[in-house]
Structure 1
């Protein structure tokens, strides 16, 4: 009798058919489509946590500065014989373990910070960059230089009105600028009559593509008098209303629209971010929270004033 051996078993074996292969590929495609949003959400959650930690460090640096000098750093400074248009950012460098950069900056005796040529001016500082912004840069999004120097995402709160070009910290300017930071501001903890937990000190902004004009949020090296050092709460987070800056070169950037208003003093930069649905912001007590795009404008404005006596609901 013929023997049934290996040869018979091999003749009975068959591989995948084309239909089966296509079904498997389709199933893998569906699984990837289902998993990709979850992966993206997890990555954004990690970036948002990192952004929160960076703002926490800014809040801690602000407290350490206050402990040292009994006052917050000025919003910006535009008088004197050197380092004019210096902002709170340069003042906080030593308190963010960036002493080397701070020493190089102090050693430069140029009258205006935008005329400085040292490498410290273009140094990319992760402490002032939101990871979600950095992700957009990697994808061919916005740039990271403005006014010839490093551009960051974190900006100081000026209040709920226009960001006026003030040359002296007079009673008039301090009355008009209701936030913790403005020209030659000398804010103390005791000045925050609304309470430190009810007063914003920092939030974030979006960098526009390319090398921007003057006054765009986060431009620490020259555009401070035209508003680059801070933001106003005249509009809510991620508003579609354009920023009103001295010179807007990128007018069609949907994430941070802007218009040029070089002939008026009524400048406005608004809080913006790539975080879905809102922005991260820091209050004067050092706490960091996520503020939704749908926050009441009245509440958002109330949080930005240092002594407005507003009642802020939960």
Structure 2
């Protein structure tokens, strides 16, 4: 009889084998994760492009219905010829009984991009039971077309609504104090001075309104001359006005929204005025972090107007919120003399290397940060030097103007 002892075969892993397997898995995850992230960003970028295509269809359908573009800076008003809007008031004061002609072009497009229910609320008188007591109290009944969109303490739900069609999935901004963000803005041309200042903006009200011709200081003349884009504040535009051709002219552009981090693209350094060169703020970013403003630079949205930042309040027609100009290339710094009305407010995005634009013919293009932008030392385009001139800001500036006889002969 044999005394041999038989060992049962072992089916486990040694510690070395286990560590090797874990190391291999870690390497594979490290290799695959960037690819997965890139695929997700590609999907988000495609979704953003599709949003723009829908806005392009909405813009064309609106024009087919009304034979004009939706107006940027439109709505209801009241007042007298002796004052901007009301005694002691001004264009940017919050009113509950009218909106001071400050609605953005996006408001009129809402029924054309599947927001009919929201449009019904806006276009009819609306009761908002803000204190939930079931009774119509003071300040809860709003007229058709709503109150001033710079809502302040006003609780008007349409202006506070976050619309999915107006959001790029790559933008992480959400919630207060934005009061309804948008990543899509109308193109106002290639000039910092696309709006007049304060109450004098009323002189632009739809050419023929009761303020027409009231321009004692020339603010309106300068603003109208500088409105060289497809859209202009208080200007009724039409496709026939786009003499450069719809395929050569930008209608809307993508903008990143402000995240409260002093990003140079989404918060305006309050250093320049509306007459100076566009380079006035070029030395203001932090040398250690060029994407953010230096701590000593006054940034208007961080101090006195925190709710009025880039991409906030989609219903507001100020350049800060819903407009952009083709001066500095996409994702460049923002600089302003008045954070709401005039300045270098460019296109921007959270996509790598550029931003989307919507052309007048409905095509969506991705414009890189390296697009040719001409002479960045050129003076601001104003009434004194605007007549018949080509844009000083190169290809980028030419794409933003509607009638400077600048036809793009090649793909960009």
Contact 2:229 2:402 in 1 (8 A): yes
Instruction: Confirm or deny that 1:217 pairs with 2:310.
Output: yes
Judged with a 3 Å threshold, the aligned counterparts in structure 2 of structure 1 residues 214 and 269 are, in CA distance, closer, same or farther, namely farther
User: More displaced, 194-203 or 159-168?
Assistant: 159-168
Instruction: Confirm or deny that 1:282 pairs with 2:358.
Output: yes
Partner of 1:28: 25
Partner of 1:114: 150
Judged with a 3 Å threshold, the aligned counterparts in structure 2 of structure 1 residues 246 and 237 are, in CA distance, closer, same or farther, namely same
Higher helix share: 1
What's the C-alpha RMSD, in Å, of the aligned pairs?
A: 2.5
Q: 1:12-54 CA distances to partner (integer Å, 9 max, x unpaired)?
A: 3252111111111000000000000000000000000000000
Name the CA distance, whole Å, in 2 between partners of 1:35 and 1:151. 33
Partner of 1:49: 46
Q: Give me the TM-score of the superposition, normalised by structure 1.
A: 0.83
Count of aligned pairs between the two proteins: 286
Judged with a 3 Å threshold, the aligned counterparts in structure 2 of structure 1 residues 173 and 214 are, in CA distance, closer, same or farther, namely farther
Contact 1:73 1:185 in 2 (8 A): no
Contact 1:278 1:292 in 2 (8 A): yes
Contact 2:330 2:368 in 1 (8 A): yes
Contact 1:180 1:305 in 2 (8 A): yes
Judged with a 3 Å threshold, the aligned counterparts in structure 2 of structure 1 residues 32 and 221 are, in CA distance, closer, same or farther, namely closer
Q: 1:54-104 CA distances to partner (integer Å, 9 max, x unpaired)?
A: 000000000011001100011223772323211111111111111111111
Partner of 2:17: helix, strand, or coil? helix
Judged with a 3 Å threshold, the aligned counterparts in structure 2 of structure 1 residues 32 and 42 are, in CA distance, closer, same or farther, namely same
Judged with a 3 Å threshold, the aligned counterparts in structure 2 of structure 1 residues 119 and 78 are, in CA distance, closer, same or farther, namely closer
Name the CA distance, whole Å, in 2 between partners of 1:129 and 1:277. 19
Name the CA distance, whole Å, in 1 between partners of 2:259 and 2:65. 38
Partner of 1:307: helix, strand, or coil? coil
Partner of 2:10: 13
User: Runs of 5+ in structure 1 lacking a partner?
Assistant: 137-141, 248-261
Instruction: Confirm or deny that 1:271 pairs with 2:363.
Output: no
Counting only pairs closer than 5 Å after superposition, residues 76-155 of structure 1 correspond to structure 2 as 76-77=73-74, 80-81=77-78, 82-84=98-100, 85-106=102-123, 107=125, 108-109=142-143, 110-115=146-151, 116-133=154-171, 136=172, 142-145=173-176, 149-155=179-185
User: Runs of 5+ in structure 2 lacking a partner?
Assistant: 79-97, 126-141, 208-219, 261-300, 374-393
Aligned match of 1:242 in 312, 334, 353? 334
Name the CA distance, whole Å, in 1 between partners of 2:31 and 2:255. 31
Q: Give me the TM-score of the superposition, normalised by structure 2.
A: 0.64
Counting only pairs closer than 5 Å after superposition, residues 183-262 of structure 1 correspond to structure 2 as 183-210=233-260, 213=306, 215-220=308-313, 223-239=316-332, 241-244=333-336, 246-247=338-339
Instruction: Confirm or deny that 1:40 pairs with 2:37.
Output: yes
Contact 1:215 1:245 in 2 (8 A): no
